[in-house]
């Protein structure tokens, strides 16, 4: 009895395999996310005289910092501006500091023009979502986009000794 069951099962399997005619294609495409940033122009408060008070660089001024970010069109990009509270003297023995307050704005239309920039909230963090794709606006081969970041702000120069004062401004870019 066991031999009949086995032969019946073999007959059913051979029948079904003979009737299936299909092709399977296993296609996998992997696109690595890519993100690049470039300094277009450094933020520069220039030469300042001691006790000169507040020095401002506004959005659109020639001395504001400008950064270009190139990314895949479909990426979420998280942008954060990190900067010290004070510029610090690099002269040995000089512990004077110059208070600094910075802001950032962005323009995501792909053109370096601060007139179209939108200020980033005071905490200095921004999520740039993927661009909205429509067939009229973008072609299928256009997978890249550029945004511009503008850094500007003020320093308050009190009674500090002459010298060079520096501070590192960092723009942190994370994507997913």
Residue 91 located in a structural domain: yes
Instruction: Provide the residue range defining the domain that includes 48.
Output: 34-175
pLDDT tens-digit series, residues 89-144: 998 989 999 999 999 999 988 899 999 999 987 666 888 877 665 344 555 557 88
Question: Which of 51, 45, 46 minimizes the C-alpha distance to 157?
Answer: 51
Give dist(CA 90, CA 163) in Å, integer: 8
Residue 76 located in a structural domain: yes
Residue 135 located in a structural domain: yes
Residue 16 located in a structural domain: no
Contact 68, 110 (CB under 8 A): no
Question: Which of 117, 119, 149 minimizes the C-alpha distance to 39?
Answer: 149
Total structural domains in the chain? 1
Give dist(CA 40, CA 97) in Å, integer: 27
**CATH number of the domain to which 92 belongs:** 2.60.40
Rounded to the nearest 5 degrees, what angle is found at the Cα of 85, between the Cα atoms of 120 and 126?
A: 20
pLDDT tens-digit series, residues 50-93: 999 999 999 999 999 999 998 888 888 888 889 999 999 998 98
């Amino acid at each position: 009895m066991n031999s009949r069951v086995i032969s019946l099962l073999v007959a059913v399997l051979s029948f079904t395999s003979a009737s299936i005619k299909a092709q399977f294609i296993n296609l996998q495409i992997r696109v690595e996310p890519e993100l690049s940033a470039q300094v277009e122009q450094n933020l520069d408060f220039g030469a300042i005289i001691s006790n000169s008070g507040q020095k401002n660089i506004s959005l659109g001024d020639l001395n504001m910092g400008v950064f270009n970010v190139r990314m895949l069109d479909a990426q979420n990009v998280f942008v954060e501006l990190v900067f010290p509270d004070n510029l610090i003297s690099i002269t040995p023995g000089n512990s004077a500091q110059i208070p600094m307050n910075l802001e950032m704005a962005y323009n995501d239309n792909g053109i370096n023009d601060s007139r179209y920039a939108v200020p980033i909230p005071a905490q200095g963090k921004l999520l740039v979502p993927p661009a909205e794709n429509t067939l009229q606006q973008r072609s299928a081969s256009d997978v890249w986009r550029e945004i511009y970041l503008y850094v500007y702000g003020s320093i308050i120069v009190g009674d500090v000794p002459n010298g060079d004062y520096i501070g590192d401004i960092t723009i942190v870019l994370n994507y997913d």
